[in-house]
Amino acid sequence: MNAFNRGIKLTFLAVIFLLNACSDPKYNNESENQSIKLWIAPNEAQENFWKTAVNLWNESNIGMPVNFTTIPATGSSEKAILTALVSGSAPDISTNIFSGFAAQLANLKQLQELSHMEGYQQLIDSRHMQRIMQDWDLAGNKYVLPLYSNPTLIWWRGDLLKKLGVHKAPETYQDVYELSEKYAASENKFGMQIIAGKNWEDRWFDFISYYYAASNGAPYIIENKTSYSNQSGRSVLKFIDKMFKNNWTGLDFDSDEPLVTGLVIGAVRGPWDIEYFKKMYPETLEKIVIGPMLTPEAQKGKASTFADSKGIVIFKHSKIKKEAFAFISWVLTHPKLNLLWLQTTGLPPARGDLTSNPVFKLFYEQHPFAKKYAEYVEVAVPPALIENTVDVQKVMNSEMIEPLIFGRKNIDSALIDASHRTNQLLRQ
């Protein structure tokens, strides 16, 4: 037995030795507390914006210097932020927070309530965000300041519309039916792309977008229960169903950009696609006409739509919240930086005065596509501010949209099943 003990000791010593040999004594970096750590969305355009903004801030010595990096995300940026929070290596501020993740983090007490921070009211007033902030209210608290608000609109190939004798972007389901019937008559063509993709977040760009348009921006979740099982929900599903039954739309467009190849005439696209097309498919972009989200019947005024909106938060663990908020206020209220944001990213800043503020006037005169999106910011509704975003949208997928597409359920049972299952999950 003695031999055993010695064996154990030796192995143990070897492990300890290795532990010591490999560990780095200076991993402790307390001196870093002298600057505000900021994480930004991993996206080239946004990175360029923050580089300028942060440089300007640091050079002018208004407050504590800021140090920024992109969110070190390999999968989703939410995952990266979460891991960093768990490990204590999270920054003081992060951008790129969507509603569902904000709700989760707020419930887990990881976010700083902002409406009582010094200078909050001035910030809101200067950006005319009073109405916008109503969509970001969580039990009377505000944890996120939305940075941008991307309405979803429909892009149409103007040249193809003209060929079919249509001179205005379609606005109702009926318009699309007529169009699709003509266009899909030719071999291997579809009317429009409706289903945006396979993941839960794609439901923002199909069902939820259409639902907002059909219901005039009514919420799809009220007080932890679904509210889309109604006439509006039914008409959206009827539209999807009819398009699929007639083979006027397809499921899988992911190998090509279908608008470029002319596989479809129309598809839901966001303002980020303007820059993308400009870079990749400039010839196609010239032919694009932007129209509103489709509605069941012709409508007076602008049709509501979905807003892909992301915001900035301060984490609760931060020891320099005041300084951090000062920096955020400075960036968000700086007129030149607001313009710069628009110029570098093309995404509409989340503010209520986009079309009236003279700062943006020249830009929008020169960028008609961006202007179109700016016009819809006021009727664009962000997703429900709930913790269970993933579940809610996965159920939309698995109980409603997909069974409908594959002909396994009729419209009513799809709606009822999805609603039932969602409520079951939300109760847990």
> Residue numbers of the site for another protein (CB under 8 A)?
3-4, 6-8, 11-12, 15, 18-19, 21-24, 27, 42-44, 47, 70, 72-76, 78-80, 82-89, 104, 108-110, 197-199, 250-256, 261, 263, 276, 280-281, 388, 390-391, 394, 397-398, 402-403, 405-406, 408, 421, 428
Roughly what angle, to the nearest 10 degrees, separates helices 411-427 and 231-245?
Answer: 130
- Residue 245 CB neighbours (<10 A): 12
The one-letter amino acid at 114: L
Least distance from another protein to the Cβ atom of residue 361, Å: 31
Of 50 and 228, which CB lies nearer to another protein in the complex structure? Answer: 50
CA nearest neighbour of 355 among 341, 368, 337, 340? 368
Least distance from another protein to the Cβ atom of residue 87, Å: 6
Least distance from another protein to the Cβ atom of residue 5, Å: 10
Least distance from another protein to the Cβ atom of residue 331, Å: 20
Provide the total of helices (H) and of strands (E) in the chain, helices listed first: 20, 14
Of 40 and 370, which CB lies nearer to another protein in the complex structure? Answer: 40
Of 69 and 366, which CB lies nearer to another protein in the complex structure? Answer: 69
Least distance from another protein to the Cβ atom of residue 381, Å: 22
CA nearest neighbour of 385 among 96, 86, 107? 107
Of 39 and 369, which CB lies nearer to another protein in the complex structure? Answer: 39
- Residue 104 CB neighbours (<10 A): 18
User: Quick one: how far is CA 135 from the chain centroid?
Assistant: 14
Of 10 and 362, which CB lies nearer to another protein in the complex structure? Answer: 10
Least distance from another protein to the Cβ atom of residue 264, Å: 12
The one-letter amino acid at 414: A
Rounded Cα gap, residues 397 and 403, in angstroms: 8
DSSP letters for 106-125: HHTT-B---TTSTTHHHHHH
Residue with tokens 């390999």: 74
Of 131 and 279, which CB lies nearer to another protein in the complex structure? Answer: 279
